[in-house]
Every structure is written in C-alpha cells, then in structure tokens.
Amino acid sequence: MEFRGISNVWFARQWGFEFLAREGLSRMASTCEAPLKKRRCVVFVMQGPLNPGLYLVGTPIGNLEDITLRALRVLKSADVILAEDTRHSGKLLQHYGIKTSLMSYHKFNEFERERTVLKRLQQGEVVALISDAGTPGISDPGTELVKLCVGENIPVIPVPGPSAVVAALSISGLPTDEFAFVGFLPKHAGLRRERLLLSANQTKMQIFFVPPHKLLQFLEEASPIFCYSRRCVIAREMTKIHEEFWRGTLGEAKEAFLVRKPKGEITVLIEGKANCVIETPLESQIEDELRELITGGNSISMVAANGKTKML
C-alpha cells in the first residue's frame, strides 16, 4: 500500500481513510504524484482550517459507517460539539477517536445554552451541532439557535449526512416527485386529527415520524381519514440490524400491527390523495375536540378561534 499526495500520512493511517484509486477511475487519482498503474493507493485530501461559525453536522441514523469524511473532519476540528444527548453522542465520538469537548443542548436547556454558544461564536469559535441521529434542527433542537445566528450574521454551515426521510423515500416504491415532511404529530387528539385532515387532502406524499408505542394509534386515526385503501410504507430501524420495510394499504397496516408490537424508530410514508373521499369532522366530533383542548389547559380565546376555523 502506498500513500501519495497526502499532507499527513499518519492521520490517514490513524483514521483508516482508504480510497482505492485506479488509473482513469477517479478524479482523486490526480492528487497522486504519478499515474497509477494497477497499484493500490490511498488518497486523502487534507483541507485548511475551518472557518468560524455554526456547523450543523448530520450523523448516522443507525449504521456508524454512514458518517461522511467531512463530518468527521468538522467534529474533530471544532472547538466544541453541541449534542442532544452527550452519552449517546459520546459513543459515536469514541468510535472514531474524536476528543472534542461535548456540551449538552436539548429542548430543556436550549434557551440557557444559546446565549453561551452565541458568545463563543461571536468570539470566532467553530461550533458543531449534532442530534442523536440524522440532521439537527429537523424534528430536533437547533432551529432557534440557527435563527439567532442568522440574526447576528454568524455563518451557519450545513454538513449533510444520513436522513431517515430521504432513505425511506428512496426505497418506498411510491411516487417521489413531490412529498411533504410532517414529522411528529401533536399530543392532543384534536390537533392530531386536524393535522391528519390537512395531510390527507394533499396530492403529494406525506411523511411522518411515529414513536413505536404509538404506531397502532396512528394507523387507527389515519386510516379512516386518509382512506383505508391508501398505500403506505412503514420503515423501521433503518440502517440497523433489524431494519424492516412494510408495504401495503393503511387498512392492511392497521390489521397487521394489531398483534405486532414494533420496536425502534419508525418512519411512515403515505401516498398522496387520488380518488379517495376524505372524511370531514362532524359537529359532535368538533365539540369533543374543543372540550379536550380546554381540559388540556388551552386558553378560551385560542379554543374559540380553533372552533371557528373548524366550522368554516
């Protein structure tokens, strides 16, 4: 094995970055000192120091091999890494020998942390933000911090990585030209129903994140609203050992998961509206939903506005 055109051979060996470049096969071969003639060569292009700013780094959704080389470089070079769960992310960093300090950043402390992080960014530091899996800021903490940085003209740099949405979409077998990512549904039944009705009337595919213990509830609520015959895909534990893809109609899914108790992270894709008749809420149903909203602590004015919208 030869190392050519590498500014730090030890770094390449230590991290195990091996690109088997062969003559005429890869542009990366141009970094070698001489044409490759059926010889194995490790090519690793080292870049300069990172510019100051907030880096949103995508991390694996299961399989650690899915992390990108750029993500590793940013995480290793950053002054600090903001992590949703430091214990969970610590395992990822340990796996790759990254010793950058971790700082917890989650929905319970994000307001407190944002001021501290903003100050460090204004001082010219490199801050990396990661979530437990996938891209931070997408159904994860990070959105408010990004807004603050944009408002203060602090650079925000995306470092793309694995995505449960795109991964599930790519293998769905359903039309993928248009889709809408809904994410997690609200906790209140009335608000969930309202969101499902809105999604059911869309002609584009709808994508949801569903906790495993709420999958049956989701299917029971979505099936009559979307139409029992609407096709769907349920992707579970993607990129992990027990990865599974279930395909069928919403009605079939409801029956299938009556007895099955799924575990792990679940992404549900439902095809867009075609010829189904979408169910509209009855007045009695609206009254029940508004009563639940009031019981849940919502203000009368907000509930009244909600009810007016439903009656239109």
Residue for token pair 């010219």: 124
Amino acid, single-letter form, for residue 131: S
Residues in the chain predicted with pLDDT less than 50, given as ranges, are: 1-11, 13, 17-45, 308-309, 311-312
One-letter identity of residue 195: R
User: What is the value of pTM for the model shown?
Assistant: 0.73
Kindly list the domain boundaries of the chain, sorted by start residue.
2-42, 53-161, 165-270, 281-312
What is the three-class DSSP state of 3? Answer: strand
Taking the C-alpha atoms of residue 58 and residue 3, their distance in angstroms, rounded to an integer, is 29
pLDDT of residue 282: 54
- Count CA within 13 A, CB hemisphere, residue 189: 14
In the DSSP assignment, the letter for residue 33 is: S
* Distance (Å, whole) CA 105 – CA 117: 10
Q: Is 136 left (phi over 0), alpha (psi -120 to 50) or beta?
A: beta
Class (C level, CATH) for 165-270: alpha beta
- Reading the block at residue 40, the tokens are 């194995």
Helix axis angle, 283-295 relative to 189-200, nearest 10°? 130
Tokens representing 105 are 């950043």
CA distance 98 to 300: 52
In one letter, which amino acid is 277?
V
Whole-angstrom distance, CA of residue 4 vs CA of residue 32: 5
Q: Say which residue the tokens 């009810």 belong to.
A: 307
pLDDT of residue 43: 42
SS3 41: strand
How far apart are the C-alpha atoms of 23 and 36, rounded to whole Å?
Answer: 5
- CATH fold group of domain 53-161: Cobalt-precorrin-4 Transmethylase; domain 1 (3.40.1010)
Helices (H), the chain: 9-15, 69-77, 86-95, 110-122, 143-151, 164-171, 189-200, 215-226, 250-256, 283-295, 300-311
Q: Which amino acid is at 229?
A: S
User: How many other β-carbons are positioned within 10 Å of the β-carbon of residue 155?
Assistant: 13
Q: CA-to-CA distance for 161 and 146, rounded, in angstroms?
A: 18
Q: What is the pLDDT of residue 191?
A: 96
Q: 266-270 and 205-210: which strand pairing?
A: antiparallel
**What pLDDT does residue 32 have?**
37
Looking at residue 251, its pLDDT comes to 97
Q: Give the residue from 227, 197, 229, 192 showing the smallest Cα distance to 211.
A: 192
